[in-house]
Amino acid sequence: MSSPSLSPKLVTLTSTSPTSRVYLRSPTPSDAENLFARAKDPKCNTYVPFLQSDACTLESTHRSIARWRTNSYISSLVVVIVNKATNAVIGDTGFQGIDFEKKTGELGIMIDSDPAIRGNGYAIEILDILFSYGFHEKYLGLEKVVFFTSGDNVPMREVLKRKLGLEERYREEEQDWEYVADKAWWTMRREGGVVAGVVEEIWNEHDT
């Protein structure tokens, strides 16, 4: 498996599927306005109270990007989602709280509210890239990935439970739902031909 990095690693991740519509890449300062606009979109921030608050500003978004780049492949891996057809950033996603000793990480995703994007299979396509990257020994080498979401977030719960087949558990104290994907689940999907592979391109640390 991959060892914890002593220095940040910035990446571009591409599915090997010929029909893939997106690729994922580390964020750059030029992504700030796009990320901030999405964070303030009521259709996107419904289940994320911090994004609704005055504490979420364009300046704080720049700070977040700097932190994500500094911690990339050390304790997290946050990436933006790029539509191949338009080269537009249509969301952000990635792993937080990566523990290389326990081989665990927490996954999250936010996609544009544009009807051309939402509800058209992008979430599954994006999550499959991340699961492939997260579980593969060549890359993050994780054994377990968790996903937390509000009970009111019915569309995401449908993706995780019905379409990806993950077991759900209600957390009474946190008042949210937990979904766990393990390596055995991913291996079954991979061997069944459900998911494609992923290709990693590593950036020079000074790339923006």
pLDDT tens sequence across 88-110: 999 999 999 999 999 999 999 99
How far is Cα 129 from Cα 9, in angstroms, rounded to an integer? 18
171-189 tens-digit pLDDT = 999 999 999 999 999 999 9
> Whole-model pTM?
0.93
- H-helix or E-strand containing 58? helix 58-71
Give domain status of residue 131, yes or no. Answer: yes
**Structural domain contains residue 135:** yes
In this structure, what CATH number is given to the domain that contains residue 88? 3.40.630.30
Number of domains in the chain: 1
The pair of three-digit structure tokens given for residue 18, joined into one six-digit string: 């010929």
Full residue range of the structural domain in which residue 197 is found = 11-202
For the chain, what is the radius of gyration of the CA atoms?
16
